[in-house]
Chains A and B, each alone.
Chain A
Amino acid sequence: MSSKATSRPLPVMVIATVFLLVWLVIAAFPFLWTTWGSFKVEGDFFSKADWLNAILGPLTTAETGGSLTGAGYYGAWIQEEFWRAAMNTAIVCVCVVSISLTCGTLGGYALARSGFRYAFWFLFFALIFRAMPPITLVSGYLLPFFEWNLWGHLSTTIIVLVAINQPFTLWMLHSFFKNIPADLDESAMVDGCTRFQAFRHVIIPVMWPGVITTGLFSFLLAYNDFAVTTLLLTKENQTMVPKIVSFLGTTQTKGNVMFAVAAAVSITAPLFVMIMFFQRQIVSGLTAGAVKG
């Protein structure tokens, strides 16, 4: 990345850095605030008297003796067994991402390479399907799922999440595959590969930035989904978001709100690890791949 084209004059660097810093503050402030507040009691964090309470925590000191308390984390992870939900979420996310990407890369590649009109109509209908508000879809699933005894299982939820997300995955991957020059795989086919072999040996090595990004979104969708997981899972199979929402509940029991805040902070940590791990793949891809050769 040290080629002449990417070197920048000083003023541009300054503007870019200032802009980026402002954005990072805006993006991260609520999260940092939440992280700090998750070690306080509810009366401080959601103080109706003065926002300074959330920083200083007078009620935390009064109720627990210290200025910080791990009660929210203890309550969520140990008392309410949040780790079960974390395991369910892990299962759901891994399955949703792998199934979505498998179906999506195949479909997206075909759509990007097919010149026929029907490929457009396929994409068009996929998009119209996506316009359907998820809440209508989910309430439509309830009756048949109860009737056929499909309700409550993790596998049902996984398939539903994959299906609901499929139009998005297809469009996104289709856009990325359009950016990969068609000459690449076509020259491989001239060399005697079948379409699938060309896909496997030529396209797969260079598609990672797009696939990782799409996978990230599939992951976030499965990770953060609320409508589907709340209505389609039994208590034992609950994933993290419905569990957090059940902490919020009607909040007639006090203290549970802080369980939700602590849990919400906790579930962000795996994402940090994941992004540190995959950012290399987003950055690599074509620059390291076959195009240059």
Chain B
Amino acid sequence: MMAAVPANYGLLLAAALFILGLAGVLVRRNVIFILLSIEIMVNASGLAFVVGGSRWRQPDGQLMFIFILAMAAVEVSLGLALVLQLYHHLKSLDIDRASSMRG
């Protein structure tokens, strides 16, 4: 690992991105922004896997990222279908208006 990057900094970047995504989920009230923030968090955790795989020079981290990618694709397609459904029902993207369940 000559001029290469220490794994600490990669993990630090992943943590920073994850915290930013978490702050986005907590702060924003728009459903689309919440989905975007969840994407940021998923991506940051995948970055942590790749950093680990690069640290030990094994392909396992990249494999985990591929699985995370498949999971993120499914999550986004279902989440956006739910967003369309929500907008269809509530005529709004405010997550607080969807605070009550109907049996």
A binds B: no
Interfacial residues, chain A to chain B (CB-CB below 8 A) = none
